[in-house]
Amino acid sequence: MQNISLYFTAKKCHSCGNTRLGNGEGSFKITEEGFTRNCKCGASIQTCFAENRNQ
């Protein structure tokens, strides 16, 4: 799980630039297609396992 967290948190928030999670910084969930991260600023960042899929 730690590797997944590191991979995921490396994705900057497009709104505020925050890269951190936890301790009130935000949260994320793992779905079948990838990750959905909810930043503390209210923005939502999605990271897909297969990056070509939704682009």
By the criterion CB under 5 A, which residues form the site for Zn ion?
13, 15-16, 18, 39, 41, 43
Q: Which is nearer to Zn ion, 17 or 50 (CB)?
A: 17
The CB-of-52 to Zn ion minimum distance in angstroms stands at 25
Q: Which is nearer to Zn ion, 23 or 52 (CB)?
A: 23
The CB-of-41 to Zn ion minimum distance in angstroms stands at 3
Residue 19, exposed/middle/buried by CB under 10 A (0-12, 13-18, 19+)?
middle
If one counts every other C-beta atom within 10 angstroms of the C-beta of residue 12, the result is: 12
